[in-house]
Amino acid sequence: MRFYIQTFGCQMNENDSRLIAGLLRSAGHQPAEGLADADLVVVNTCCVRENAENRALGFLGSLKHWKEELPGRIIAVMGCMAQKSGTAELLQKSYRHIGIVIGTFAGAKLPRYVEEYAASGERIIDTEERYGEEELKRCEVLAPTIESGYRAQVNINYGCNNFCSYCIVPYVRGRERSRSVSEIVDEVNALTANGVREIQLLGQNVNSYGRELENGIDFAYLLQQVSKVEGLERIRYMTSHPRDFDQRLAETIARLPKVCRHFHLPLQSGCDRLLTQMNRGYQTAQYRLLLQQIRRLFPQATITTDLIVGFPGETEKDFQETLDFVCECRFDAAYTFLYSRRPGTPAADMPEQVSDAVKKERLQRLMAIQDPISLALNEQLVGRTLSVMVEGISKQNNSMMSGRTDGNKIVIFPLQKSARPGDLLDIEIRTAHTWNLYGEPV
């Protein structure tokens, strides 16, 4: 069969899609160019916010016609939304054209289910929570065999134990579990042998890596081991929890030049009362201290964050505290989200849900505060020469190329004929915008 994978959601899902593509290939299937020439569509879904679900549902709805054109075609739904309670029933009732529904614990079974479904035509649903490692490992062993380009993602831990009160992820990704150091290092080695220069280590909370492994194994130790891989230029990681990011980790990173000086530390709110309601496990005073520690060790660090506006009970005064704290923190960038009610999470049942109109108005005000800060910090880079890893031809303009700094800032520069994705170029920054920089090679 020819397969087409449509991915929604975060890096976790992107990486799962890469692993699934590898599994399907090794089961003898071929990637399709697009929907038109595909026999199998895999929709990898996200449910972190309602609009992510709506996008996936919209796409699934549009596939009804695709399935009717050739009834032998197969539609499989996987990922976080498939794992969410109630979704399998919804799909069963209202999306009868979907053949296979597999949750986040059963991804590796997809090739077998495709075969079974093709033979019987009977719908298959597998959303069982399993912690037996074999299924996932089979995926990961295959991962390095897939051409990834110059950068790749590697899972280090799965699941989440934090239960932030607004968040659905712990319910759909299960409890935390870490892969062994040797498995991760082997995978990074295999990827770099295939030409990968930049690795992004993935976990919902990378700082809790190793908690269930033997004593002494933690994220700082893992970074040291991954740093030793030859041929690897850059190491990124996603996501850090501010509560668990400690001084020892910062000091370890300071000794490891391959680890990028980009710190993504989701703050969520600048109001202590709401941080408690969110079950984040830190207050603004601790967060402030963490930023000070990082900036002392890494004066040039890029620091980014995530913020939620309109959490239940957020008053105008609470929101003002967030605005003030955002001004104080001076983030390079902030990913801002409207609070989305996720049934089944504690926040969904909290009184005083904030209206959509108020949420939207606050989001505008937050961006109006943050965008000039992003621009001002980017302007400070004008005149400096930065090491940029080439991504490729710019999407907007084919006479330009784009790449990223160690701090993960996007740099646009004139096309260099000899530059290949993954090469490092020294670029002098000439102009700054809110979301990217322009420069010239030196």
310 binds ligand F3S (CB under 6 A): no
The residues with which 178 forms a beta bridge, in sequence order, are 157
For 115: left if phi > 0, alpha if psi spans -120 to 50, otherwise beta; the answer is alpha
153 binds ligand SAH (CB under 6 A): no
* Phi and psi torsions of 63, nearest 5°: -80, -10
Is the previous residue joined to 239 through a cis bond, with omega within 30 degrees of 0? yes
Question: Within 178-217, which residues bind ligand SF4 (CB under 6 A)?
Answer: 204-205
Task: Report whether 135 contacts 152 (CB < 8 A).
Answer: no
3-class secondary structure, 137: helix
In this structure, what token pair is assigned to residue 289? 């201290």
8 binds ligand SAH (CB under 6 A): no
Is 242 or 439 the residue whose CB approaches ligand SF4 more closely?
A: 242
Q: Minimum CB separation from ligand F3S for residue 71, in Å?
A: 30
Q: Minimum CB separation from ligand F3S for residue 9, in Å?
A: 3
166 binds ligand SAH (CB under 6 A): yes
The residues with which 134 forms a beta bridge, in sequence order, are none
When binding is defined by CB under 6 A, the residue of 24, 38, 42, 47 that contacts ligand F3S is 47
Task: Report whether 388 contacts 427 (CB < 8 A).
Answer: yes
Question: Within 76-105, which residues bind ligand F3S (CB under 6 A)?
Answer: 79-80
Is 24 or 160 the residue whose CB approaches ligand SF4 more closely?
A: 160
236 binds ligand SAH (CB under 6 A): no
347 binds ligand SF4 (CB under 6 A): no
Is 4 or 337 the residue whose CB approaches ligand SAH more closely?
A: 337
User: What is the pattern of x (binds ligand SF4, CB under 6 A) and - over residues 119-158?
Assistant: ----------------------------------------
304 binds ligand F3S (CB under 6 A): no
Q: How far apart are CA 299 and CA 296, in angstroms?
A: 6
The β-bridge relationship of strands 30-31 and 40-45 is: unpaired
* Candidate segments 9-17, 164-172, 195-203, 409-417, binder of ligand SF4 by CB under 6 A: 164-172
Site size for ligand F3S, by CB under 6 A?
12
312 binds ligand F3S (CB under 6 A): no
Instruction: Count Cβ atoms within 10 A of the Cβ of residue 262 and give its class: 0-12 exposed, 13-18 middle, 19 or more buried.
Output: buried
Residues 6+ apart with CB under 8 A from 180: 213
* Candidate segments 9-17, 258-266, 325-333, 340-348, binder of ligand F3S by CB under 6 A: 9-17
Helix H or strand E segment including 129: none
When binding is defined by CB under 6 A, the residue of 165, 340, 378, 402 that contacts ligand SAH is 340
Task: Report whether 45 contacts 14 (CB < 8 A).
Answer: no
The residues with which 235 forms a beta bridge, in sequence order, are 199, 259
291 binds ligand SF4 (CB under 6 A): no
Contact partner at residue 284 from ligand SAH, ligand F3S, ligand SF4, none, CB < 5 to 8 Å by partner kind? none
Question: Within 163-222, which residues bind ligand F3S (CB under 6 A)?
Answer: 169, 172-173
Is 48 or 412 the residue whose CB approaches ligand F3S more closely?
A: 48
Q: Minimum CB separation from ligand SAH for residue 239, in Å?
A: 4
Q: Minimum CB separation from ligand SF4 for residue 50, in Å?
A: 15
Residue 326, number of CB atoms within 10 A of its CB = 21
Q: How far apart are CA 406 and CA 299, in angstroms?
A: 13
Contact partner at residue 163 from ligand SAH, ligand F3S, ligand SF4, none, CB < 5 to 8 Å by partner kind? ligand SF4
Helix H or strand E segment including 45: strand 40-45
Q: How far apart are CA 404 and CA 128, in angstroms?
A: 40
Task: Report whether 262 contacts 434 (CB < 8 A).
Answer: no
* Candidate segments 1-9, 121-129, 137-145, 336-344, binder of ligand SAH by CB under 6 A: 336-344
Residues 6+ apart with CB under 8 A from 40: 1, 2, 3, 4, 24, 29, 73, 74, 75, 76, 114
User: What does the binding site for ligand SAH look like in residue numbers (CB under 6 A)?
Assistant: 48-49, 166-167, 169, 204-205, 239, 241, 266, 268, 306, 308, 337, 339-340, 342
